Amino acid sequence: MNIKGYKVWIKYLLITTVAFLMGFISKSIIDPILQTTVTETRNSQNYRFINPLLECESSNFSQNAALQPLRNQLNDSIENTDNKQVSHVSVYYRDLNNGPWIGIDEKENFSPASLVKVPLMIAYFKAAETDPGLLGQTIPVPGTFNHQQTILPQITLTPNQTYTVEELINRMIIYSDNQAYELLQEYIDNQILVKTYTDLGIDISQAYDDPTGNIISVKSYASFFRILFNASYLNKDTSEKALKLLSQTKYDQGIVKGVADPLISVSNKFGERTYLETGERQLHDCGIVYAPAKPYLLCIMTRGSNFPLMEKIINDVSSLVFQTVNSQI
For residues 5 and 85, state if they share a domain: no
How far is it, in rounded angstroms, from Cα 265 to Cα 289?
6
Task: Check residue 285 and give its pLDDT.
Answer: 98
- The pLDDT value recorded for residue 61 is 54
Q: Please indicate, yes or no, whether residues 218 and 123 belong to a single structural domain of this protein.
A: yes
In this structure, are 38 and 148 located in the same domain? Answer: no
Within a domain: residue 99? yes
β-pairing, 138-140 with 109-110?
Answer: unpaired
Instruction: Identify whether 120 is part of a domain.
Output: yes
Give the Å distances, CA to CA, from 21 to 9, 11, 28, 35, 252.
18, 15, 10, 20, 55
Tell me whether residue 314 is in a domain.
Answer: yes
User: Are 296 and 220 in a shared domain?
Assistant: yes
d(CA 329, CA 324): 9
Structurally, the chain folds into a number of domains equal to: 2
Q: Quick one: 16 and 128 in the same domain?
A: no
Angle CA(228)–CA(230)–CA(235) in degrees, nearest 5?
A: 70
pLDDT 10s digits, 192-206:
999 999 999 998 888
Asked if residue 50 belongs to a domain, the reply is no
Residues 34 and 163 occupy one common structural domain: no
Do 114 and 26 share a structural domain? no
**CA 211/CA 215 separation, integer angstroms:** 8
Report the CATH number at residue 301: 3.40.710.10
In a domain, 9, yes or no: yes
pLDDT value of position 83: 82
Given the DSSP bridges, would you call strands 162-164 and 216-217 parallel, antiparallel or unpaired?
unpaired
Cα-based distances in Å from 170 to 50, 56, 121, 132: 19, 29, 9, 16
Domain encompassing residue 100? 56-328
Q: What is the Cα–Cα distance from 228 to 234, expressed in whole angstroms? A: 7
Report in angstroms the alpha-carbon separations of 263 from 110, 162, 290, 292: 32, 36, 10, 10
The list of the chain residues with pLDDT below 50 reads 2-44, 58-60
Cβ neighbors of 11 (< 8 A, separation 6 or more) are: none
What pLDDT shows up at residue 45? 67
pTM comes to 0.84
Q: Are residues 60 and 40 in the same domain?
A: no
User: What are φ and ψ of residue 16, in 5° steps?
Assistant: -65, -45
Question: Do 169 and 61 share a structural domain?
Answer: yes
SS3 of residue 78 by DSSP:
helix
Q: How far apart are the first and last CA of the chain?
A: 58
Indicate whether 267 and 185 sit together in one domain.
yes
Residue 15's pLDDT is 41
Provide CB contacts within 8 A for 127, sequence distance 6+: 134, 188, 192
Residue 51 belongs to some domain of the structure:
no
In a domain, 164, yes or no: yes
pLDDT of residue 146: 83
Domain shared by 37 and 62, yes or no: no
List, for residues 275-295, the tens digit of each pLDDT value: 999 999 999 999 999 999 899
What pLDDT is attached to residue 122?
98
Q: Are residues 71 and 19 in the same domain?
A: no
**Torsions phi, psi for 60 (to 5 deg):** -85, -5
d(CA 308, CA 316): 12
